Amino acid sequence: MRFLIKLIPERDEFRVPYNHQYYLQGLIYRRIQRVNPDLSLRLHNPRVPKFFTYSLFMAEERRVDKGKPHFLGRGNGYFYFSTAVPEIAEAFVGGLLENPEVELWGEHFTVEEIKALYELEKLSGRKFITLSPIAVSTTRQVFGKPRTYDLSPTDPEFYEHIRENLIEKYTSLTGKPPGSGELEFKVILAKPKRFQVKPGIYQRAWHLFFRVKGDEDLLRVGYLTGFGEKNSIGFGMVKVDGKRRVKRTWKGGEGNRKGKDA
């Protein structure tokens, strides 16, 4: 289940920090907790797979605020959310409709509408564009101690780690292994990005334009829950290169307004 969330800003021009995934993650968890506290509690367990991802925050118009850690947006703000678990989708969307007043990084927005997007039946052989960069890492021994390295698309391990990660997600979701389990990636364009995910903790990830062929089950899991790692903190969401189709739209006014985020 994939959604486009459109937000009306309180101000004509608003700030968006480049390192903002943490704020969106907080919004998602707060809205889920509002509707389904038991689900929120389960998702906070670090050993429980999350099975959702989301895009970076975007604006209809943007300009660089030179030398500042943010860009300036005008018009509506928006982001995408995706999950393979209907319970998560229902709780998050329901929470947004119940309380459409949103505060992010000190800026105030109101949910204008939420659009459920059509999901393509066939994904193998299609081109994909990242809506949030793909993060892949590995652990190597350095002087007898394990050290984490962020991988790049030039590393063969990059693609094998993505495939293994998707197999783990699919098996956890369905309780059975996928079909062939084979995937073949071809990267067309790649751009590195470095994000601060927590104070003092950084992640190097990659915006990609790529084509992938292979197991439809694995591709469906990547399409809904994200490719690579750290999906629940805003990495690995992709879209199919092409036009976006809308399945259903909810207007912000359909929910009950109950104040702003805490």
Active-site residue set: 29, 44
Sign of CA dihedral 255, 77, 73, 225: positive
List, edge to edge, every strand of the sheet that includes 238-240.
Answer: 183-198, 201-214, 127-130, 238-240
Alpha helices in 7-136 (DSSP H): 21-35, 37-43, 86-98
Distance CA 76, CA 87 (A): 28
Distance CA 117, CA 106 (A): 29
Instruction: Give the helix/strand (H/E) hosting 168.
Output: helix 156-174
**Owner of token pair 């292979």:** 214
Phi, psi of 37 (to 5 degrees): -60, -35
Of 166, 243, 239, 165, nearest to 209 by C-alpha is 239
Question: How far does Cα 91 stand from its chain's mean position?
Answer: 16
Distance CA 216, CA 183 (A): 9
